[in-house]
Structure 1
Amino acid sequence: MKRRHLLGATAAGLAATAWPAFLREAFGDGAACDETGKPAAAAGSLVQVSAAFRRARQAKRALLVFVIPADDGAKWERGHAFGELLNFGADRDIAPLAGVEVVCATMADLKKLVPSAGDGEPLLVVVRTDKVPVAATQLDVALPIYDRMRLMTENREELLKRDDAIAAKRIGALGALLRKGLGAGADNLEARAASVRARLVKAPPAGARWAIASGCGTEVEGVDETGMMACGMGHVPSKSRRFLYFFAVEGRGAPPR
């Protein structure tokens, strides 16, 4: 081995020993230990982010975080927007996800692992796992919202048309955001999009569950007798009905573990 390579490897190793225990574990350097020599376990949903980071690093790909807001109402809104993208996005909208590891997490948990993730609650954060220190980029855009007041003034046909138009704008905005942050390569779009649907639509991304909102309640997929009221929403736009559920089924008010 050349001397400069040896020095570089040694410096990297010394730097790694200075990382927090959960970060050393996320980088796959064996089980992290605390000052007593016992394995140090990550707390709460940080486990999900650490595991996803490790998978991304081992696969030599970036980590994409779907950010879970702290506010419960915002959780519903964002979960529906992500559901629209994954279930109804065109190939070009979702194909960029083929090259990244995806996880759903709060900014509070992400910043424990990646302090450079920044402030606020952007829609997405891209974490480049091949950088030391880890590099993070926020991706955000203002999404159109559904005007629920029109439920009282529009007939059903007009309402459905308006819903579909708003959903198309939301999906388009998220797709453009992904292409901007992850790349807009046009090669093998159909195959890449198919791989995303197989990985993230049939089963949910880590840190979330798929659920169905009927307007009368919410059914979490794979969970018996959930039947939770959907925050009083009597009408759910058709493309929003299957959405990412960011609550613990048991506690209903906490992020998924």
Structure 2
Amino acid sequence: MNRRGFLGATAAGLAVTAWPAFIRDAFGDGAACEMNGKPSTAPPMAQVSAAFRRAQQAGKALLVLVIPADDSARWERGRAFGELLNFGADRDLSPLAGVEVVCATMADLKKIVPGAGAGEPLMVLVRTDKVPAAATTLDASLPAYKSGRGLDRKSWEQQQKDEEKIAAQRIGALGDLLRKALGADERNMAARAAGVRARLVKQPPAGAHWASSSGCGTTIEGVEENGVIGCGMGHVPEKSRRFLYFFSVEQRG
């Protein structure tokens, strides 16, 4: 088995003590996704292609949540998208009602949409009604969390308050990106946001799994066998504890 650091242990404040067999190599080597509640082991490029076709057939644009090549960046990106989807307000999530969503690396996206752009932006919006498909990169600078190690009680309480502010800023920045790119229609906003939560929060977007960790053990939702992570190795901000897991998972049984 090819062992790797779990999404950047330094950034996450976590350390891997053991990998079970069900976690294979990074996403690019064959990620799993959720389709109608069932995992798919289709190659990443096939997942992007399928998502593009679904968007095209529905007359929608395709929104790609970009998976960075670097493991540490994957962890950070997964946390940011998790914060948005789990804690975003109706106005932040409702724009997603009108697009098909998939998670993919830029390398895999470019196999389907060669003009997807350069670098590794947060997201890429692909218009599926044109040939060749037109793509717009969506990017912003997200504030980073500070380490919570070695704090006394008073400092720890302040750290938690600071993390709440940072989480709100990160969610707000992502919400602003979506509203600017997809529009900010206030009609039926609550209903549209509820539909997004049912589609992307109860089940993960294609190309990812939902996972959760509070700094001692990590659970990948829908997977019976889970990895063992060293306890007491670090702190995970409250709103980052459920995140999009961008590594491949092999379903047992």
Q: Which TM-score bucket, shorter chain as reference?
A: 0.7 to 0.9
**CA-CA distance at 1:233 after TM superposition:** 5.3
User: SS of the residue aligned with 1:76?
Assistant: helix
Amino acid at match of 2:137: Q
How far apart in 1 are the matches of 2:208 and 2:230?
17
Amino acid at match of 2:176: A
Aligned pairs (5 A) from 1:79-118: 79-118=78-117
**CA-CA distance at 1:243 after TM superposition:** 0.3
**CA-CA distance at 1:94 after TM superposition:** 0.7
Q: TM-score if structure 2 supplies the norm length?
A: 0.79
Aligned pairs (5 A) from 1:1-257: 44-148=43-147, 150-153=148-151, 155-229=155-229, 234-250=234-250
RMSD value over aligned CA atoms? 1.8
User: SS of the residue aligned with 2:82?
Assistant: helix
| Higher relative contact order, chain-length normalized (CA < 8 Å, sep 6+) | 2
* Count of residues in Structure 1 that have an aligned counterpart in Structure 2: 208
| Structure 1, unaligned runs of 5 or more | 1-42, 251-257
- Which whole-Å deviations, capped at 9, do the CAs of 1:52-105 have from their partners, x for residues lacking one? 000000000000000000000101000000000000000000100000000000
Question: Which structure has greater helix proportion?
Answer: 1
Amino acid at match of 1:73: S
- In terms of mean alpha carbon deviation, does 241-250 or 53-62 score higher? 241-250
- Which whole-Å deviations, capped at 9, do the CAs of 1:168-214 have from their partners, x for residues lacking one? 00000000000011111111110110000000000000000000012
**CA-CA distance at 1:228 after TM superposition:** 4.1
How far apart in 2 are the matches of 1:66 and 1:194?
20
How far apart in 1 are the matches of 2:143 and 2:53?
35
Question: Which structure has greater strand proportion?
Answer: 2
Aligned identity (percent) is: 71
User: SS of the residue aligned with 2:212?
Assistant: strand
In our comparison, the structure showing a higher alpha carbon Rg is 1
Q: TM-score if structure 1 supplies the norm length?
A: 0.77
How far apart in 2 are the matches of 1:123 and 1:230?
30
- In terms of mean alpha carbon deviation, does 127-136 or 43-52 score higher? 43-52
- Which whole-Å deviations, capped at 9, do the CAs of 1:197-241 have from their partners, x for residues lacking one? 000000000000000012012110011121343898511111000
How far apart in 2 are the matches of 1:238 and 1:201?
17
How far apart in 2 are the matches of 1:230 and 1:171?
29
The answer as to whether partners of 1:151 and 1:159 remain within 8 angstroms in 2 is no
How far apart in 2 are the matches of 1:165 and 1:130?
39
**CA-CA distance at 1:247 after TM superposition:** 0.3
Structure 1 ranges of 4+ moved more than 2 A: 150-156, 227-233
| Structure 2, unaligned runs of 5 or more | 1-41
How far apart in 1 are the matches of 2:131 and 2:178?
24
Summarize the Cα distance change of 1:232–1:102 in structure 2 as closer, same or farther, 3 Å threshold: farther
How far apart in 2 are the matches of 1:65 and 1:54?
13
